[in-house]
Amino acid sequence: MTTGAKILAALRDTAVGVSGAELAERLGVSRAAVWAHIEELRGLGFGILAGPHQGYRLMEEPDSLLADDLLARLGQCRVIGRDIHVFEETMSTNDVVERLARDGVREGVVVFAESQTRGRGRLGRKWVSSPRKGLWFSILLRPNLRPQETTQLTAASANALRRAILGQTNLPVEIKWPNDILIHGKKAAGILTEMSAELDRVRHVILGIGIDVNQGPNDFPPDLRKTATSLRLEKGETLSRPALAAAVLRELDMEYFRVRDGKFPEVAAEWMEHCATIGRHVTVQIGDRHIRGRAESLDDDGALILRSEHGRLQRIIGGDVTVEK
C-alpha cells in the first residue's frame, strides 16, 4: 500500500482523530511527510480536519475514483486490486490493460477510467460510459486455464458483481447469460471478457466491466432508456462509487480464487441460483442463426446448455439471449 493509502486507512479507522506524530510513527515516515500527504489528499477533495487536540479527522470524501483511496478501502487482497490505476479519460480500459499485458505486467492490475470515449461491448458494440456516473474498469488476469474454460471467468465475475451490488444496495440483482447484470429486468452492468491465447493455453484474459451507478434518466441515450438502468434509478438514491468499486474488487478476488482452485462447480451453482435465464424458454441469436430452447444449466466450462423443442441438448458458448415471455 502507498503511504497515502495507509493514511486514509488510518483516518477511516478512527472516529476521534489521529495525531500527525502517531501517523508518522505508525507509517515509519517523518511528520513533514505525513503533512505533505494530508495536503495532497485535501487537494484531491478529501475534507481532513486538523484540530489542535484531536489530530487529523476525515470529514468528507470525494466521489472521484482515486487509486490510493481504493487501495486503502481494499486492504488485503490476494490478486485482483493489488495494483490500481485511474485515468480521467481513455478510449477503452480494455485497450489500456491489453498494453500492460503485452508489457509483461503481472496479473491483478485494475485500470479504471472516469470516462471512456470508445467503450465497447461484445462484437464491437458500443458501451455508453457517461463521465463519472459509473464504474468503467478492466482487470488483467493470467489464469492457468484452457481457452474454452475462460467462460468460467465471465460467470465468476457475474457472481461477484451480483453479490457486491446486492451488498451495497439491497436491490434484487439477476444474472442474464452470458454477461449481463439485470435489475428489475433492465441491464445495469455488463462484462466483456477478452483473451489472448495459444491453441491450448491462455496467455492472458482481460475482464472489462461496466456498471451503471449514478446515471439519472437523461444520462442514457434515448435508444437505451427502455433496456438500461442505473443503481441510482432503481434505488432512488446516489451511491458511493468508490465504496462499490472496492466491494466489487473484493468479491472478484474471491471468485477468481474459486476458479483458480478448481471450484467452478460452486461458482456455477451460485450463478444458476440467481440466473434469470435458467429454466426459461429462450432464443439465442448467434450471428444470423436463432436457436430456441429451454435453458437447462451451465456446464463445466461456463457454456449454456439448451434443450431444443425436440429434446436435443446443445452447448452454447456465445450469443445474445432473449427470454420468451
Residues that bind ligand BT5 (CB under 6 A): 92-94, 116, 119-122, 125-129, 136-138, 179, 187, 190-192, 208-210, 212, 224, 228
Cβ atoms of 176 and 321 closer than 8 Å:
yes
Q: Which residue has the cell 477533495?
A: 45
- Pick the closer one to ligand BT5 by CB: 116 or 152: 116
DSSP three-state, residue 191: strand
Q: How far is the CB of 56 from ligand BT5 (least distance, A)?
A: 35
Q: How far is the CB of 157 from ligand BT5 (least distance, A)?
A: 10
Q: How far is the CB of 324 from ligand BT5 (least distance, A)?
A: 19
Q: How far is the CB of 91 from ligand BT5 (least distance, A)?
A: 8
Residue nearest to ligand BT5 (CB): 190
Q: How far is the CB of 5 from ligand BT5 (least distance, A)?
A: 23
- Pick the closer one to ligand BT5 by CB: 167 or 318: 318
- Pick the closer one to ligand BT5 by CB: 226 or 310: 226
Cβ atoms of 235 and 214 closer than 8 Å:
no
Determine the Cα–Cα distance for residues 138 and 119; give it in Å rounded to an integer: 11
Q: Which residue has the cell 472496492?
A: 246
Q: How far is the CB of 229 from ligand BT5 (least distance, A)?
A: 8
DSSP three-state, residue 120: strand
- Pick the closer one to ligand BT5 by CB: 43 or 222: 222
- Pick the closer one to ligand BT5 by CB: 130 or 152: 130
- Pick the closer one to ligand BT5 by CB: 10 or 188: 188
Strands 109-116 and 83-90: parallel
Determine the Cα–Cα distance for residues 251 and 162; give it in Å rounded to an integer: 9
Q: How far is the CB of 285 from ligand BT5 (least distance, A)?
A: 12
Beta strands in the chain (DSSP E): 47-51, 55-60, 83-90, 109-116, 134-141, 173-176, 180-183, 186-197, 202-212, 281-286, 289-298, 304-307, 313-316, 320-323
Backbone phi, then psi, for 8, in 5-degree steps?
A: -60, -45
- Pick the closer one to ligand BT5 by CB: 6 or 120: 120
Torsion of CA 126, 127, 129, 134, to 10 degrees: 180
